[in-house]
Structure 1
Amino acid sequence: MGERYQGIMNKILDYVPKTDQILSPAALVISGTIILLMTGFTAIVVVVLVPVLILLSPLLIPIGALLFVTVAGLFSVGFLGLVAFFGVSWLYNYVNGRKPLGSDQVDYACKRVVDTASHVKGYAWEYGGYLHGKLREAAPGA
Protein backbone atom coordinates (compact mmCIF):
# COMPACT_ATOMS: atom_id res chain seq x y z
CA MET A 1 0.00 0.00 0.00
CA GLY A 2 2.96 2.32 0.63
CA GLU A 3 4.11 2.01 -2.97
CA ARG A 4 0.68 2.84 -4.26
CA TYR A 5 0.63 5.92 -2.07
CA GLN A 6 4.07 6.99 -3.41
CA GLY A 7 2.87 6.57 -6.99
CA ILE A 8 -0.15 8.79 -6.37
CA MET A 9 2.00 11.44 -4.68
CA ASN A 10 4.45 11.48 -7.60
CA LYS A 11 1.56 12.01 -10.05
CA ILE A 12 0.21 14.86 -7.92
CA LEU A 13 3.67 16.46 -7.63
CA ASP A 14 4.05 16.36 -11.41
CA TYR A 15 1.13 18.82 -11.67
CA VAL A 16 2.32 21.17 -8.92
CA PRO A 17 3.99 24.23 -10.51
CA LYS A 18 7.62 24.98 -9.64
CA THR A 19 8.60 28.23 -7.89
CA ASP A 20 10.19 29.74 -11.01
CA GLN A 21 6.96 29.01 -12.90
CA ILE A 22 5.07 31.06 -10.32
CA LEU A 23 7.59 33.86 -9.69
CA SER A 24 8.43 34.68 -13.32
CA PRO A 25 4.90 35.75 -14.32
CA ALA A 26 4.42 37.49 -10.97
CA ALA A 27 7.61 39.52 -11.44
CA LEU A 28 6.53 40.36 -14.98
CA VAL A 29 3.11 41.55 -13.83
CA ILE A 30 4.55 43.60 -10.94
CA SER A 31 7.24 45.30 -13.04
CA GLY A 32 4.77 45.98 -15.86
CA THR A 33 2.33 47.57 -13.42
CA ILE A 34 5.05 49.78 -11.95
CA ILE A 35 6.19 50.92 -15.40
CA LEU A 36 2.60 51.61 -16.45
CA LEU A 37 1.91 53.68 -13.32
CA MET A 38 5.15 55.63 -13.69
CA THR A 39 4.38 56.35 -17.33
CA GLY A 40 0.95 57.68 -16.44
CA PHE A 41 2.35 59.76 -13.59
CA THR A 42 5.02 61.19 -15.90
CA ALA A 43 2.41 62.11 -18.52
CA ILE A 44 0.27 63.90 -15.91
CA VAL A 45 3.28 65.79 -14.54
CA VAL A 46 4.33 66.86 -18.03
CA VAL A 47 0.82 68.05 -18.93
CA VAL A 48 0.53 70.06 -15.73
CA LEU A 49 4.07 71.40 -15.35
CA VAL A 50 4.98 72.38 -18.91
CA PRO A 51 2.55 75.34 -19.07
CA VAL A 52 3.66 76.47 -15.61
CA LEU A 53 7.31 76.27 -16.63
CA ILE A 54 6.65 78.19 -19.82
CA LEU A 55 4.87 80.96 -17.93
CA LEU A 56 7.52 81.19 -15.21
CA SER A 57 10.60 80.75 -17.43
CA PRO A 58 11.42 84.50 -17.53
CA LEU A 59 11.90 84.27 -13.75
CA LEU A 60 13.26 80.74 -13.40
CA ILE A 61 16.07 80.99 -15.94
CA PRO A 62 17.85 83.99 -14.34
CA ILE A 63 17.30 82.56 -10.85
CA GLY A 64 18.68 79.20 -11.99
CA ALA A 65 21.69 80.84 -13.60
CA LEU A 66 22.35 82.87 -10.46
CA LEU A 67 22.08 79.79 -8.25
CA PHE A 68 24.35 77.83 -10.57
CA VAL A 69 27.03 80.54 -10.59
CA THR A 70 26.79 80.94 -6.81
CA VAL A 71 27.06 77.22 -6.07
CA ALA A 72 29.85 76.74 -8.63
CA GLY A 73 31.74 79.67 -7.09
CA LEU A 74 31.37 78.29 -3.57
CA PHE A 75 32.53 74.85 -4.64
CA SER A 76 35.49 76.25 -6.56
CA VAL A 77 36.54 78.47 -3.64
CA GLY A 78 36.30 75.51 -1.29
CA PHE A 79 38.23 73.28 -3.67
CA LEU A 80 40.95 75.89 -4.23
CA GLY A 81 41.17 76.41 -0.47
CA LEU A 82 41.71 72.69 0.06
CA VAL A 83 44.32 72.60 -2.70
CA ALA A 84 46.14 75.57 -1.15
CA PHE A 85 46.00 74.00 2.33
CA PHE A 86 47.39 70.67 1.15
CA GLY A 87 49.99 72.41 -1.03
CA VAL A 88 51.26 74.52 1.86
CA SER A 89 51.21 71.46 4.13
CA TRP A 90 53.21 69.46 1.58
CA LEU A 91 55.70 72.32 1.13
CA TYR A 92 56.09 72.70 4.91
CA ASN A 93 56.83 68.99 5.27
CA TYR A 94 59.24 69.09 2.32
CA VAL A 95 61.17 72.08 3.68
CA ASN A 96 61.41 70.47 7.12
CA GLY A 97 62.88 67.30 5.59
CA ARG A 98 59.97 64.95 6.31
CA LYS A 99 59.98 63.66 2.70
CA PRO A 100 56.28 63.81 1.75
CA LEU A 101 54.86 61.79 -1.11
CA GLY A 102 56.43 62.88 -4.42
CA SER A 103 59.42 64.65 -2.90
CA ASP A 104 61.84 62.30 -4.65
CA GLN A 105 60.41 63.44 -8.00
CA VAL A 106 60.84 67.09 -7.00
CA ASP A 107 64.45 66.41 -5.98
CA TYR A 108 65.10 64.67 -9.30
CA ALA A 109 63.55 67.58 -11.25
CA CYS A 110 65.67 70.10 -9.32
CA LYS A 111 68.79 68.07 -10.06
CA ARG A 112 67.89 67.95 -13.77
CA VAL A 113 67.34 71.73 -13.87
CA VAL A 114 70.72 72.38 -12.22
CA ASP A 115 72.49 69.92 -14.55
CA THR A 116 70.86 71.47 -17.62
CA ALA A 117 71.79 74.97 -16.47
CA SER A 118 75.41 73.94 -15.97
CA HIS A 119 75.50 72.31 -19.42
CA VAL A 120 74.05 75.45 -21.01
CA LYS A 121 76.60 77.58 -19.16
CA GLY A 122 79.45 75.39 -20.38
CA TYR A 123 78.09 75.43 -23.90
CA ALA A 124 77.84 79.23 -23.77
CA TRP A 125 81.44 79.55 -22.54
CA GLU A 126 82.65 77.16 -25.20
CA TYR A 127 80.83 78.65 -28.18
CA GLY A 128 80.48 82.23 -26.95
CA GLY A 129 84.01 83.13 -28.00
CA TYR A 130 83.47 81.50 -31.37
CA LEU A 131 80.41 83.63 -32.06
CA HIS A 132 82.17 86.74 -30.79
CA GLY A 133 85.02 86.08 -33.23
CA LYS A 134 82.58 85.54 -36.11
CA LEU A 135 80.92 88.84 -35.24
CA ARG A 136 84.30 90.64 -35.56
CA GLU A 137 84.91 88.98 -38.94
CA ALA A 138 81.49 90.04 -40.22
CA ALA A 139 81.87 93.64 -39.03
CA PRO A 140 85.57 94.47 -38.71
CA GLY A 141 85.00 97.99 -37.56
CA ALA A 142 82.60 97.04 -34.80
Structure 2
Amino acid sequence: MADVQPRPLEMSREQPKSRQMVKAATAVTAGGSLLVLSGLTLAGTVIALTVATPLLVIFSPVLVPAVITVALLVTGFLASGGFGIAAITVFSWIYRYVTGRHPPGADKLDSARLKLASKAQEMKDRAQQFGQQHTGGVGAHQTS
Protein backbone atom coordinates (compact mmCIF):
# COMPACT_ATOMS: atom_id res chain seq x y z
CA MET A 1 0.00 0.00 0.00
CA ALA A 2 1.27 3.43 -0.82
CA ASP A 3 1.16 6.29 1.66
CA VAL A 4 -1.67 8.61 0.86
CA GLN A 5 -0.53 12.21 0.83
CA PRO A 6 -3.14 14.86 1.54
CA ARG A 7 -4.06 16.86 -1.46
CA PRO A 8 -3.67 20.64 -1.37
CA LEU A 9 -7.47 21.00 -1.25
CA GLU A 10 -7.66 18.79 1.85
CA MET A 11 -4.88 20.79 3.56
CA SER A 12 -6.98 23.91 3.35
CA ARG A 13 -9.81 22.11 5.19
CA GLU A 14 -7.60 21.15 8.15
CA GLN A 15 -7.83 23.46 11.12
CA PRO A 16 -4.82 25.52 12.13
CA LYS A 17 -3.03 24.60 15.35
CA SER A 18 -4.23 27.73 17.15
CA ARG A 19 -7.86 26.80 16.57
CA GLN A 20 -7.23 23.27 17.83
CA MET A 21 -5.54 24.70 20.93
CA VAL A 22 -8.53 26.95 21.62
CA LYS A 23 -10.91 23.99 21.31
CA ALA A 24 -8.77 21.90 23.65
CA ALA A 25 -8.52 24.72 26.19
CA THR A 26 -12.29 25.23 26.09
CA ALA A 27 -12.90 21.51 26.59
CA VAL A 28 -10.44 21.31 29.50
CA THR A 29 -11.99 24.41 31.13
CA ALA A 30 -15.55 23.12 30.77
CA GLY A 31 -14.63 19.63 31.94
CA GLY A 32 -12.62 20.94 34.86
CA SER A 33 -15.37 23.27 36.03
CA LEU A 34 -17.93 20.44 35.83
CA LEU A 35 -15.57 18.20 37.81
CA VAL A 36 -15.19 20.88 40.50
CA LEU A 37 -18.97 21.35 40.60
CA SER A 38 -19.41 17.57 40.96
CA GLY A 39 -16.95 17.51 43.88
CA LEU A 40 -18.71 20.41 45.61
CA THR A 41 -22.06 18.67 45.21
CA LEU A 42 -20.66 15.47 46.68
CA ALA A 43 -19.16 17.36 49.64
CA GLY A 44 -22.45 19.19 50.25
CA THR A 45 -24.38 15.92 50.13
CA VAL A 46 -22.05 14.29 52.67
CA ILE A 47 -22.31 17.30 55.01
CA ALA A 48 -26.11 17.41 54.72
CA LEU A 49 -26.38 13.68 55.39
CA THR A 50 -24.09 14.00 58.41
CA VAL A 51 -26.24 16.78 59.84
CA ALA A 52 -29.58 15.16 59.00
CA THR A 53 -28.84 11.61 60.20
CA PRO A 54 -29.33 12.32 63.94
CA LEU A 55 -32.57 14.17 63.18
CA LEU A 56 -33.83 11.28 61.06
CA VAL A 57 -32.97 8.78 63.81
CA ILE A 58 -34.72 10.88 66.47
CA PHE A 59 -37.85 11.50 64.40
CA SER A 60 -38.02 8.14 62.60
CA PRO A 61 -40.84 6.76 64.79
CA VAL A 62 -42.95 9.64 63.49
CA LEU A 63 -41.52 10.06 60.01
CA VAL A 64 -41.80 6.47 58.80
CA PRO A 65 -45.55 6.14 59.46
CA ALA A 66 -46.08 9.65 58.12
CA VAL A 67 -44.25 8.82 54.87
CA ILE A 68 -46.20 5.57 54.53
CA THR A 69 -49.48 7.42 55.12
CA VAL A 70 -48.64 10.16 52.62
CA ALA A 71 -47.57 7.55 50.05
CA LEU A 72 -50.86 5.68 50.49
CA LEU A 73 -52.86 8.90 50.22
CA VAL A 74 -51.05 9.99 47.06
CA THR A 75 -51.46 6.53 45.54
CA GLY A 76 -55.15 6.52 46.39
CA PHE A 77 -55.77 9.95 44.91
CA LEU A 78 -53.84 9.11 41.75
CA ALA A 79 -55.70 5.82 41.33
CA SER A 80 -59.03 7.52 41.96
CA GLY A 81 -58.25 10.21 39.39
CA GLY A 82 -57.11 7.62 36.86
CA PHE A 83 -60.23 5.55 37.29
CA GLY A 84 -62.36 8.70 37.03
CA ILE A 85 -60.68 9.74 33.79
CA ALA A 86 -61.10 6.19 32.43
CA ALA A 87 -64.81 6.23 33.34
CA ILE A 88 -65.35 9.61 31.70
CA THR A 89 -63.56 8.38 28.58
CA VAL A 90 -65.72 5.25 28.43
CA PHE A 91 -68.93 7.20 28.98
CA SER A 92 -68.03 9.70 26.25
CA TRP A 93 -67.21 6.82 23.87
CA ILE A 94 -70.54 5.17 24.63
CA TYR A 95 -72.38 8.47 24.15
CA ARG A 96 -70.71 9.02 20.76
CA TYR A 97 -71.48 5.43 19.76
CA VAL A 98 -75.14 5.67 20.75
CA THR A 99 -75.60 9.03 19.02
CA GLY A 100 -74.10 7.60 15.81
CA ARG A 101 -70.87 9.61 15.64
CA HIS A 102 -68.84 6.40 15.02
CA PRO A 103 -66.02 6.61 17.59
CA PRO A 104 -62.77 4.69 17.07
CA GLY A 105 -63.31 0.95 17.40
CA ALA A 106 -67.04 1.10 16.71
CA ASP A 107 -66.68 -0.98 13.55
CA LYS A 108 -65.00 -3.77 15.54
CA LEU A 109 -67.79 -3.65 18.10
CA ASP A 110 -70.41 -3.84 15.36
CA SER A 111 -68.74 -6.82 13.68
CA ALA A 112 -68.43 -8.61 17.05
CA ARG A 113 -72.12 -7.91 17.77
CA LEU A 114 -73.11 -9.32 14.37
CA LYS A 115 -70.99 -12.45 14.91
CA LEU A 116 -72.54 -13.00 18.33
CA ALA A 117 -76.04 -12.48 16.94
CA SER A 118 -75.45 -14.96 14.12
CA LYS A 119 -74.02 -17.56 16.53
CA ALA A 120 -76.95 -17.05 18.87
CA GLN A 121 -79.40 -17.55 15.99
CA GLU A 122 -77.49 -20.65 14.91
CA MET A 123 -77.63 -22.10 18.43
CA LYS A 124 -81.35 -21.31 18.64
CA ASP A 125 -81.98 -23.14 15.37
CA ARG A 126 -79.95 -26.13 16.56
CA ALA A 127 -81.85 -26.23 19.84
CA GLN A 128 -85.18 -26.16 17.98
CA GLN A 129 -84.05 -28.99 15.71
CA PHE A 130 -82.83 -30.99 18.69
CA GLY A 131 -86.08 -30.34 20.52
CA GLN A 132 -88.20 -31.38 17.52
CA GLN A 133 -86.23 -34.60 17.07
CA HIS A 134 -86.59 -35.59 20.72
CA THR A 135 -90.08 -34.23 21.27
CA GLY A 136 -91.45 -36.18 18.32
CA GLY A 137 -89.93 -39.40 19.64
CA VAL A 138 -91.14 -38.81 23.19
CA GLY A 139 -94.68 -37.99 22.04
CA ALA A 140 -94.82 -41.19 19.99
CA HIS A 141 -93.82 -43.31 23.00
CA GLN A 142 -96.37 -41.64 25.23
CA THR A 143 -99.30 -42.22 22.85
CA SER A 144 -98.67 -45.93 22.46
TM-score by length of 1: 0.71
2: CA distance between counterparts of 1:54 and 1:119? Answer: 72
Residue-pair matches, total:
122
Aligned to 1:45: 48
Query: Taking structure 1 as reference, are residues 43 and 132 closer, same or farther at Cα in structure 2, changes over 3 Å only?
Result: farther
1:27 deviation in Å?
1.7
Written as runs of structure 1 = structure 2, the 5 A alignment for 1:48-67 is 48-67=51-70
Uncovered stretches (5+) of structure 1, i.e. residues with no partner: 1-12, 137-142
Aligned to 2:71: 68
1: CA distance between counterparts of 2:35 and 2:118? Answer: 72
Uncovered stretches (5+) of structure 2, i.e. residues with no partner: 1-15, 139-144
Match of 1:88 among 88, 91, 94: 91
1:88 deviation in Å?
1.3
1: CA distance between counterparts of 2:18 and 2:120? Answer: 90
Written as runs of structure 1 = structure 2, the 5 A alignment for 1:10-21 is 18-21=21-24
TM-score by length of 2: 0.71
Aligned to 2:33: 30
Note the alpha carbon deviations across 1:37-89, whole angstroms, 9 max, x for none: 01111111111112211221110111111111212222222222222222111
Q: RMSD in angstroms over aligned alpha carbons?
A: 2.6
1: CA distance between counterparts of 2:69 and 2:129? Answer: 62
1:120 deviation in Å?
2.7
1:124 deviation in Å?
3.5
